[in-house]
Structure 1
Amino acid sequence: METMKSIEKILKKKGVESLEAMELNESYTIQSQGYHELTIEKVGSDRLSVAHYYTQRGDLMRDPEIVFRIEENDSWTAVEYQQDDCGIYQHDKSGLDLSEFIKQWDENLGNQGFVGVVQ
């Protein structure tokens, strides 16, 4: 049961208090100088995608993307992980064990200024 505090902070700055408050396919893209864009998108009634995207030879690449199932008690469970440049794709509807990666990525997002640039 992971959580990404930096993503929660970004959404709150955008006026989003919960996943239910977002429309399906509603997304926010944040640019922090020197890093790939960060996109947060509601991709299902209880699913939130968090991804860094870049373009390679005209194709949109994920580096990485994690899709979380967010439950009523605000617990986040990673159910899908994709990193195109490494050829990695994992999916498990009961949850993936990515807690160390998520913890580090969340910390990096804060350190890289993604939360601070949101108005």
Structure 2
Amino acid sequence: MKTVLAILQKAGGWRPSLYLKIENPPYMKLVIEATDESGPCGLPALSVAHHGEKNGDLMRDPEMCFELGFAGDAHLNPFYWRNDYVGIEQWSRFIRDGNYCYQPQLHEQHENFAKLWDKNLQRQGFAEAFERQRPQRS
């Protein structure tokens, strides 16, 4: 998710109060926000979601949650995927009864989806849209 990392860097980095909403018509708005809880490995977590609306309800299409790691270089490691329009919620890495659980095939699907989504976000110009709507400092 190089595009999200670039936006995050331009926004001043991860912080507990992080909330970014990027409007980029004709695409659904993109929301990047820090989560209240750490990821399954105890690292800071980030939610990335396209938000739409159906019958007045906020819909995620999709939402992915990532742990923000810095080993080697800044990177995002997925652990959650959700799409409200199709009613699917998936955890590929999680803690259950104090044990770390990992579903390798599902995690690989999440990684592949994140790569495709990142290419789409880059092509759709979300980093540039963030720059345009960001308040200019004097």
d(CA) in 2 for partners of 1:52, 1:71: 22
Local SS of the residue matching 1:34: coil
What is the aligned residue count?
Answer: 111
Q: CA RMSD in A?
A: 1.5
Q: Percent same amino acid at aligned positions?
A: 35
Shift of 1:106: 0.1
Residue 24 of structure 2 is matched in structure 1 by 32
d(CA) in 2 for partners of 1:67, 1:113: 21
Q: Which amino acid aligns with 2:22?
A: I
Residue 6 of structure 1 is matched in structure 2 by 3
Q: Which amino acid aligns with 1:67?
A: C
Query: What TM-score, normalized by structure 1, do the two folds share?
Result: 0.84
| Runs of at least 4 residues off by over 4 Å | none
Cα pair 2:66 2:78 within 8 Å, conserved: yes
Residue 103 of structure 1 is matched in structure 2 by 115
Q: Which has the higher contact order (CA 8 A, sep 6+)?
A: 1
Query: What TM-score, normalized by structure 2, do the two folds share?
Result: 0.74
Shift of 1:72: 3.8
Name structure 1 gaps, 5 residues minimum. none
Higher CA-based Rg: 2
1:34-73 mapped onto 2 (5 Å cutoff):
34-43=26-35, 44-45=37-38, 46-73=44-71
